[in-house]
Amino acid sequence: MSSNITVPELGESIVQATVGRWMKQLGETVATGDPLVELETEKVTMEIAANTAGILESILKPEGETVGIGEVLGTISDEGQASSPSTKSASRTAKASGSSQVTSAAPDSPSLAAAKSPATTATVSAPTSATTSAPTSQVLNATPIARRMATEHGIDLRRISGSGSRGQVTQEDVAAYLQRLEPPVPSLPASEDRREEHVRLSTRRQTIARRLVEAQRNAAMLTTFNEVDMSAVLELRRRYRDRFKERYGIGLGFMSFFTRATIGALKSYPRLNASIQGDEMILKHYYDIGIAIGVDEGLVVPVLRDADRMSFADIERQIAAMAAKARDNTLSLADLRGGTFTITNGGTFGSLLSTPILNAPQVGILGMHKIEERPIAVDGQVVIHPMMYVALSYDHRIVDGSEAVRFLVRVKELIEDPSAMLLEE
C-alpha cells in the first residue's frame, strides 16, 4: 500500500511553490520524519518530511516544477524492502517529467530509474558510445539548472563528477565539463568572451522582482536624505562595548541605536507607521520593525515584534538570531509576516548613498549607509567627523514631504544625542 507525499498549506497568501531538491532517491528506504524534498516559496524554503516509513516509490513532481497546495509530489510504499520500481510507477514518473523515451525501456533496464528525474532527457539522448558505468544515483543527484544545461548540450550527466553537497552535479560542473570538451579558440586582438548562460530565477528572486516593481508602480514613492554625525554612538560603543558583551553575551551594534531612534521618530510621526488599504489609512499603534538581511537567494526582511518593548540587548540578540536563520535558510513564515516599517543597511556592503524601495504595504523605509570620515563645519571650525548618509523613502499618498523630512531629522537628533532616547520610553 502506498501513501502520498502532498504539498501542505504554505502560509498566508502563498498558493504555490517550486520543487527544489529531492533529498531521497527512488527506491531508497525512508523513516517517519525523514526530510524528502525541499519546496521553494516566495518567502522561505521548507522541507517536506515523510509522514510514514517505507520506500520512496515514485517522484511525480521533478525539481524545478511549480506545484500547488494539495498536489501529490510522490508516493511512499510501506513495503519492507526496496525493490526495482514497477513499470507503472516509471510510466507515471515519466509522464510527470515529460520524457517520452522512457516508455520503450524494459522494466528491468538500468536507465529506468534515471528516467524518473529531469535528467532523463540528457541521459537517454546522449551518444551511447560515451556512456560509462557510473551509478544511476549520480544522474539523479544534480541541480535543475545542471540538468537543463546537460539537455541543451546533449551531455550524459553520468560522465560528470559533482562538486556539490553529497556529490550533487552543479551548473559549474557542467560548465567546466563543456569547457574541457570545446577546442581552444585562437584569441584575436581585443577579443571578448561572448559566452552566455541562462539561469532560471529562483522563486524568491521572482517574488522580489515582482514586489519591487509593484511597489514603484502602485505607490507615489519619494526619497528624502540627510546626514548623521555618528561620533556620539561610536564613543558610546567604544566605552561600553566590552561591558555590554560581558553582561549580555552579544555585541553592541548600530542597528539597535537606529531601531530605537526609528521607533522614537515613528511615535512623533505615526503616519509613517501606517499602511493603505483601499480608501482607508490604517494607523498602527504597535511597532513591528522589519530588518532587511541580504543572503545569496536575495533580500529577506524578518520582523522584530513589539520592538518598542525591547532593550538594546534584546534587539541585538533578535537581529543576530534572525541573521543566523537567514544564512541557514531556516526562517519561518511567522518570522517574515507583517511588519509596520523597515530598516535596511546598505552600508554593510559599502554603499555610500542609495534610494531604498518601499516594502509594500508599508509606507516608509529607512536606509542606512557606510560611515565615512568627512570634513564638516562645527562652531565655525572645519573638523573631521564620522558621518553617515541616511535616506527615507515614503509613500506620498499619505505622508507629506514636510512630515518625511521632520521624521528623518528626528532620527538624526536621536542618533547624535543617544541619551535622548531614554525620553522615548
Catalytic residue ranges: 396, 400
φ, ψ dihedrals at 264, nearest 5°: -60, -40
Residue length of the chain:
425
DSSP notation for 139-203: HHSB-HHHHHHHHHHT--GGGS---SGGG-B-HHHHHHHHHHHSPPPPP-TT---------PPPH
Contacts from 12-15 at CB under 8 Å and sequence distance 24+? Answer: 12/333, 12/337, 14/41, 14/42, 14/43, 14/333, 15/68, 15/69
CB 144 within 8 Å of CB 133: no
- Beta bridge partners, 10, equal none
Nearest to 308 by CA among 282, 348, 273: 273
Angstrom distance (rounded) from CA 158 to CA 116: 15
Provide the H-helix boundaries in 196-332: 203-218, 231-248, 254-268, 312-327
Q: Which are the contacts of 238, defined by CB distance < 8 A and separation ≥ 6?
A: none
Retrieve residue 317's grid coordinates: 540578540
